[in-house]
Amino acid sequence: MSVPSQGEEAGASGTEFSLDSAEELSGDPAERPGLGPWRLTGRRLRRDKVALVAGAVFVLVVAACLAAPLWADHVANTTPEENHLSDQVTIDGEKTDVVDLRGKPIGPTWNGEFFLGADSNGRDIMVRLLYGGRNSLVIGIAGALGTILIGLVLGLLAGYYRGRTDSVLRWVLDVIWAFPVILLGVALGTALALGGLSIGPITIEGDSLAIPTLIIAVIYIPYLARPVRGQALALREREFVEAARAQGMGSLRIVFTEILPNVSSTLVVFLPLLVANAILLEASLSFLGAGVQPPNPSWGTMIAEGVDRIVTAPHLTIVPGAMLVLAVLSLNVFGEGVRDALDPRAKVRIEH
Amino acid sequence: MSSGMARFVIRRLLSMLLVLFAVSVIVFLIFNVIPNSDPAVRMAGKIPTETQVEAIREEWGFDEPLYVQYATMMKKLFTGETISYSNQQNVTEEIWKGLPRTLSLAVGAALIWMAFAIALGLYSALRAGRLSDRFLNVLALIGISMPVFWLGALMSYYLGHKLGIFPTGGYVEFTENPLDWFWHLVMPWTALSVLFIGFYSRVLRSDVLETMGEDYVRTARAKGLSERRVLLKHVLRNSLIPIITLWGLDFGAVIGGAAILTETVFSLQGVGEYAAESIKQTDLPPIMAVTMFGAFFIVIFNTVVDVAYAALDPRIRLDAEGSR
């Protein structure tokens, strides 16, 4: 079964799992009663061919980026940072400058070396695209996981404990929410890129990927914490929570063993969409100079470098942007399939 | 206005002030606590001597305790006397200069994205499941998957530079030449709207489909009302509420800094681009002022939406009351 393992546990532990959609769609012959909600989701998802294709495309993008060193070492014979300003390549038996005398870089050769052309420093775009994709994907995925972790804890605590905890946490969320997203990200990014960050024994260098990752994780917290809080608020009044309380379970244990499994569908719905938006936000931050710091490549920094030279070499902008759109689009389509399969009524709103 | 409503409004306003206060403290700290961001060292030039740095520190008050510096900065912000560290210009005047540009962009784009979203969302809902609906869905998904600055740069290159239909960037005052003003803004408006059209049209589509299944819509049909009347009066009116809410929030966000990328790509030199330039120079006063300005708009529009909701739906008021 391709369903997440935590789901099987949620079903097995006997906790109640409310899924309005399951009742709605029960007329369907494939939706046999008695199947756990996660297995139902898996079945519905497997019938959603568009979502499956999209998911496969994203996996391919990830695999290609993971294979970056293979391409760099065995096909392109260069590294993402290596300049080839004064080098020449042979195309159709003719020797051509990688970057010509007027500074115009070579376009796609569709050969091993400079497959997608070179940038204005004579660096191989294909190699940078794959290595840059690693950075963009790492930031996107780690940022989204960070958001889920922090947002989940804040939302659960606020919703379960209510009262003063809730007031304080809601105020924190309001503050994050009130910040102009990109302004906050860019301000933090620029300031941290200057001096790095050191909290106690942990020191993060100014050009570390951890900085944009942290910023992105923080910015999206309210988008997740607010719906989780709402669910926790409703779940804490349910009978099974009351039963747990009557058995003498502590509040923290109730939060994590009784409430948490019931908000897990929300987390699964959010994850792909959060990753997609985190990748877009990384690009925006890098475009404004506050994300990944050069010479490290990322799709965002590559687009930023390309836009400055769009008139002489439009492929510098088009190529990384197209790759970014491919990754984000496949995630959005897949994420929508997951949402439809799991909880079609979920209202998910994230912006970049 | 009932006393419950009055209390709700007052509480919302108070929490709004608290949020703005927190935002100002955080921005101030970001630029004062972080290492290597000592403004005196940067202002003193490339190779500063210790005495130069000391003199600047004293002149600008950087030697005072942080809370005094914060208080002075906020006081200047409110009296409009904030001066930029990097070029000694009055920040308030710069923001006023950029405001009509940012507002032109935001208002125009907001009208465009709402009009298109309603038309496309409604059309999709009526054609649900057909080819045209799926096609629009794909377009919408592509729209929300594109970075606005990438789309903007490509538009500027192909439609502006290559085909020469639109100017590649820049801004013309409305009072100077309305037609030129319009022509310069067509591409920025479009680039900024695409994301929102994609997003809103899908929200509207699902809300319309949901509303069409409601009992009162069936009743309206059963009464013999025309399909057109059912659709416009009963279905659309109710389905519009969620996207009008989003509209309020997003409009606040766009004025409050979300347009920074669009402004930068098309060099509109609005408030957002001013912020982007100030951030590059770690020039605290303008960043502080623009962030406060942005947060102010976001919080105002959030509060307006909340209050409007509470006025329409008493349950929200009670809920806020009960969850204290």
The pLDDT-based confidence of B41 (bands split at 50, 70, 90) is: low
Average pLDDT on A22-37 reads 56
Residue B193 pLDDT > 90, yes or no?
Answer: yes
Percent of chain A whose pLDDT exceeds 90: 32
Cβ pair B291:A183 closer than 8 A: yes
Residue B42 pLDDT = 63
Average pLDDT on A9-33 reads 45
Average pLDDT on B243-270 reads 88
Residue of A nearest to B262 (CA): A284
pLDDT in tens, A259-315: 999 898 889 889 999 999 999 999 999 988 888 888 889 999 999 988 888 888 888
Dmax (CA) of chain B: 87
d(CA A54, CA A241): 38
CA distance, residue B55 to nearest chain A CA (Å):
24
Average pLDDT on A64-87 reads 80
Residue of A57, A173, A174, A183 for testing the chain B interface, max B β-carbons within 10 Å: A183
The pLDDT-based confidence of A186 (bands split at 50, 70, 90) is: confident
Task: State whether residue B295 sits within 8 Å of chain A by CB.
Answer: yes
A191: nearest CB among B34, B256, B257: B34
Smallest CA-to-CA distance from B196 within B253, B126, B272 is with B253
Residue B319 pLDDT > 80, yes or no?
Answer: no
Residue of A175, A229, A282, A347 for testing the chain B interface, max B β-carbons within 10 Å: A175
State the DSSP code for A93.
Answer: T
Residue A96 pLDDT = 73
Residue A15 pLDDT = 38
pLDDT in tens, B44-79: 666 667 777 777 777 777 777 888 888 888 888 888
The pLDDT-based confidence of A92 (bands split at 50, 70, 90) is: low
Average pLDDT on A101-126 reads 77
pLDDT in tens, A208-224: 888 889 889 998 999 99
Residue B295 pLDDT > 90, yes or no?
Answer: no
Residue A344 pLDDT > 70, yes or no?
Answer: no
Residue A18 pLDDT > 50, yes or no?
Answer: no
Cβ pair A196:B35 closer than 8 A: yes
8 A C-beta contact, residue A38 and residue A343: no
Cβ pair A336:B257 closer than 8 A: no
pLDDT in tens, B91-113: 888 899 999 999 999 999 999 99
Smallest CA-to-CA distance from A277 within A323, A231, A343, A324 is with A324
Residue A204 sits at φ, ψ, to 5 deg, of -115, 125
Residue A19 pLDDT = 45
What is the pairing mode between strands A202-204 and A197-199? antiparallel
Residue type for position B49: T
CA distance, residue A12 to nearest chain B CA (Å):
33
The pLDDT-based confidence of B155 (bands split at 50, 70, 90) is: very high
8 A C-beta contact, residue A274 and residue A213: no
Distance in angstroms between the alpha carbons of the first and the last residue of chain B: 22
Interface predicted TM-score (ipTM): 0.85
The pLDDT-based confidence of A17 (bands split at 50, 70, 90) is: very low
Mean pLDDT of chain A: 81
d(CA B40, CA B58): 9
Average pLDDT on A315-337 reads 93
Residue A188 pLDDT > 90, yes or no?
Answer: no
Indicate the pTM of the whole model.
0.85
Contacts of A48 (CB under 8 A, 6+ apart): A337, A340, A341
Tell me the range of A134-143, A169-178, B157-166 where mean pLDDT is highest.
Answer: A134-143
Residue A202 sits at φ, ψ, to 5 deg, of -90, 125
Residue A323 pLDDT > 90, yes or no?
Answer: yes
Task: State whether residue B192 sits within 8 Å of chain A by CB.
Answer: no
Residue A109 pLDDT > 80, yes or no?
Answer: no
H or E stretch at A158: helix A125-161
Tell me the range of B48-57, B84-93, B153-162 where mean pLDDT is highest.
Answer: B153-162
Average pLDDT on B261-282 reads 87
Cβ pair B150:A175 closer than 8 A: no
> Who wins on pLDDT, A273 or B84?
A273
Residue A141 pLDDT = 95
